[in-house]
Amino acid sequence: RDLATHLVRTRMLQAGYPLSVVTAALCDRWRPGVRLLPATDDRCETHVVVTDTLDGRESQGRRAMHFQEWWIRHRAALPASEFVPVGAEDAEPAAGVREAIAGADAVLLAPSNPVVSIGSVLAVPGIRYALRSAPARVIGLSPLVGGRAVRGMAEACLAAIGVPCEANAVAAHYGARCAGGILDGWLVHTGDGTTGDGATVPGVQVREVPLMMTNVAATAAMARAALDLAGLAV
């Protein structure tokens, strides 16, 4: 099903359909039970600025490559110094995105890669402002457990931009909404809220709860904790 979804999406995009239309068509087929909106219908690609090395020494200087080449082909072995959302500066939020944020009872930032997943969304002009001005509380969930990414390449990406691989360091990277950032609250895994130099995040309410989604019950409990931190009774 995953492969089929990718093939259908690629064919529809190549045929000229905007990503929001493609997403709606896939939702009609798979019935996820929620409304899904892409951040933008404009083309944006994440590129990585890397330093080629030979036996641990710089050999060919700095160059840029597509994120997928860096992660899949090179397995993040090339030292990265910057992630660039190519095209984002000319993009705009897809239809309905600003309205969805403005009308939400709570805004939850998933425990995704803060650099190339959440960061790419925030790079689209207008989305960061929409979060800052949203009437609802914005709650983030840490992508780290015990200072390690549960899956994916968050550790390598955070290191590349100089952010320690600590839950509250990621929250500081997002910033408190009262200080120009995007967070009101931050959920961290049990025990992670008191580790590292950033034991507290000024302006952000930090709460420790189990974040490992080991089963449906654990996942539901995590979601309830996020909504509770947002001030919603569930």
Report CA-CA distances (Å) from 124 to 18, 42, 77, 121.
Answer: 16, 9, 28, 6
Q: Measure the CA angle with vertex 137, ends 157 and 210; round to 5°.
A: 60
**How does pLDDT run across 204-228, given as a tens digit for each residue?**
999 999 999 999 999 999 999 999 9
How far apart (Å, rounded) are the C-alpha atoms in residues 183 and 65?
31
**How does pLDDT run across 2-13, given as a tens digit for each residue?**
899 999 999 999
Domains in the chain: boundaries: 1-36, 45-89, 91-229
- The tokens describing 92, both together, are 């705009």
**How does pLDDT run across 81-108, given as a tens digit for each residue?**
899 999 999 999 999 999 999 999 999 9
Report CA-CA distances (Å) from 197 to 6, 134, 168.
Answer: 42, 30, 9
Does 124 score more than 50 pLDDT?
Answer: yes
pTM attached to this predicted model: 0.90
**Residue 66: beta bridge partners?**
47
How far apart (Å, rounded) are the C-alpha atoms in residues 88 and 116?
12
Q: Which CATH class is domain 91-229?
A: alpha beta
How far apart (Å, rounded) are the C-alpha atoms in residues 110 and 108?
6
Residue from 97, 156, 149, 154 nearest 121 by CA? 97
- The tokens describing 119, both together, are 């960061």
- The tokens describing 194, both together, are 């008191």
How far apart (Å, rounded) are the C-alpha atoms in residues 232 and 177?
19
Length of the chain (residues): 234
User: In this predicted structure, what is the pLDDT of residue 78?
Assistant: 87
The pLDDT-based confidence of 46 (bands split at 50, 70, 90) is very high
**Residue 42: beta bridge partners?**
none
Report CA-CA distances (Å) from 73 to 26, 51, 69, 77, 144.
Answer: 29, 15, 5, 9, 25
58-80 burial by CB neighbour count: b if 16+ within 10 A, else e? eeeeeeebebeebbeeeebebbb
Q: How many CB atoms lie within 10 A of CB 171?
A: 26
Mean pLDDT of the chain: 92
